[in-house]
Amino acid sequence: MTNDSPNILEINDIKVKRAGALLVDVPSLQVERGEILSLIGPNGAGKTTLLLTLSCLTKPTTGEISFRGQKIGSDVSVFEYRRNLAMVFQEPLLFNTTVFKNVASGLTIRRMGREEIRRIVKESLERFGIDHLGERSARTLSGGEAQRTSLARAFAIRPEILFLDEPFAALDPPTREALIEDLQAVLQDTHTTTIFATHDRAEALRLSDRIGVMNDGSILQIGAPEEVMNHPMNEFVANFVGVETILRGKVIRKDEGGFVMLVSDHEIEAVGDVKLGENVVLCIRPENVTLSIASRSDALPPQGGESSRLARETTSERNVFHGRITKITPLGFFQRIQLDCGFPLVAYVTRHSLDDLSLIEGKDVTASFKATAIHVVRKREK
């Protein structure tokens, strides 16, 4: 029977309960052929349990899983379904034998011919840069080499679905970076459908077609990475996807398409459809905040006013505030700048900008951000 649906995997009303606790509660989820879906969330969010359920290693309490339009357990057996998938865990689970035999294990179980096994294993080892380790004992491998072996073994069987459960979490940064780069190339080459659990949003952004944010066993929001990162549906999602400034206040003025919110006696302009007097939440990503040197003439009083209007005439940003740097934290390629503008604000700058502006803790600066750079979360009525 043919299935014209683009979805290779569908779940309906999946719940997993253990000892009275609800570990997973996902009413609906569809995964398209060839897509990479990342499930991100804190420890205990239910990511691993959902992966184990989707791979039929854990039986759901209620609900159905369909593979290629066929219900697993009735239309297609669990055994047949699992022959079409592979799973890689955070800790490599390797047999006490050579790297070659580990990678060949799935093919041997499928009773492939010796020459075909040799050809496929060689190709898989080369893809992950470990062809020189073929005769090495798995027990002698480093963490990165062992995980490369696990991935090579997974891809050797040419799975229709690949499940990855925090596969880079135990690796040091250089090893992790190199392995992610190689995995990304293999996924682009093979178009393997992949469901990837991680707590690292940078990994998810780099690899994914879609991102689902999980907490307490539920998928709170799912969509394209840009949509989830820039338009979080609530404060939890915003916090987890890297929104560093979350402000609460009341709408005091509005016009067509825009409004002004009062936050700690400061007026902030934003864009959105809100009601006058409504309490809303503003989400501002740190990369959307611009810093410049403050002077006596452009330092803005807390309430804005005429000084604020004059400052806005010289910039496209609608929100310009005087602030003081309270803390500077190195963060990879960026420096994280925490500000007190009468309300807390966080900005990212490059090391070059830090030196060019002579930014130090305690220094006064001017911070600005566009009204259109603010994501507005309206509080749901109970």
CATH number of the domain encompassing residue 330? 2.40.50.100
Band of the pLDDT at 214, cuts 50, 70, 90?
very high
> Within this chain, do residues 158 and 250 fall inside the same structural domain, yes or no?
no
Distances (CA, A) of 269 to 14, 135, 259, 320: 42, 64, 6, 10
> Within this chain, do residues 78 and 206 fall inside the same structural domain, yes or no?
yes
Q: What is the pLDDT of residue 312?
A: 45
189 or 379, which is more confident: 189
- Domains identified in the chain, total number: 2
Band of the pLDDT at 298, cuts 50, 70, 90?
very low
Q: Of how many residues is the chain composed?
A: 382
Mean pLDDT taken over the chain = 91
Among 18-32, 141-155, 172-186, 288-302, where is mean pLDDT lowest?
288-302
> Within this chain, do residues 258 and 162 fall inside the same structural domain, yes or no?
no
Separation between Cα atoms, residue 327 and residue 317, nearest integer Å: 24
pLDDT at 350 exceeding the cut of 90: yes
Q: What is the pLDDT of residue 376?
A: 94
> Within this chain, do residues 320 and 342 fall inside the same structural domain, yes or no?
yes
> Within this chain, do residues 189 and 116 fall inside the same structural domain, yes or no?
yes
| Percentage of residues in the chain having pLDDT higher than 70 | 92
Q: What is the pLDDT of residue 296?
A: 46
According to DSSP, the residues that pair with 376 across neighbouring strands are 282
Among 73-77, 121-125, 265-269, 331-335, where is mean pLDDT lowest?
331-335
Scan for tokens 């998928």, then name that residue: 219
Of 216, 239, 262, which residue sits at a domain end?
239
Number of C-beta neighbours around residue 85 at 10 A: 20
- Sheet strands (E) in the chain: 7-18, 21-32, 36-40, 62-67, 70-71, 85-88, 161-165, 193-198, 210-215, 218-223, 245-255, 258-263, 266-271, 279-284, 290-293, 319-331, 334-340, 344-350, 364-369, 374-378
Q: What is the pLDDT of residue 256?
A: 79
Separation between Cα atoms, residue 307 and residue 298, nearest integer Å: 7
Separation between Cα atoms, residue 44 and residue 49, nearest integer Å: 9
> Within this chain, do residues 36 and 132 fall inside the same structural domain, yes or no?
yes
Separation between Cα atoms, residue 38 and residue 33, nearest integer Å: 14
Residue 1 lies in a domain: no
Separation between Cα atoms, residue 196 and residue 199, nearest integer Å: 10
Band of the pLDDT at 263, cuts 50, 70, 90?
very high
For 42-59, how does the pLDDT look when each residue is reduced to its tens digit (9 = 90+)?
Answer: 999 999 999 999 999 999
Q: What is the pLDDT of residue 299?
A: 43
Q: What single letter denotes the amino acid at residue 154?
A: A
Domain that holds residue 304: 245-378
List the one residue out of 118, 151, 116, 158 whose CA is nearest residue 134: 118
Q: What is the CATH number of the domain that holds 107?
A: 3.40.50.300
> Within this chain, do residues 344 and 287 fall inside the same structural domain, yes or no?
yes
| Percentage of residues in the chain having pLDDT higher than 90 | 85
pTM of the predicted model, to two decimals? Answer: 0.86
Residue 2 lies in a domain: no
Q: What is the pLDDT of residue 3?
A: 57
List the one residue out of 329, 95, 279 whose CA is nearest residue 337: 329
Residue 235 lies in a domain: yes
pLDDT at 268 exceeding the cut of 60: yes
For 193-207, how does the pLDDT look when each residue is reduced to its tens digit (9 = 90+)?
Answer: 999 999 898 899 999
State the distance between the two ends of the chain, measured CA to CA, in whole angstroms. 47
Q: What is the pLDDT of residue 304?
A: 44
> Within this chain, do residues 30 and 179 fall inside the same structural domain, yes or no?
yes
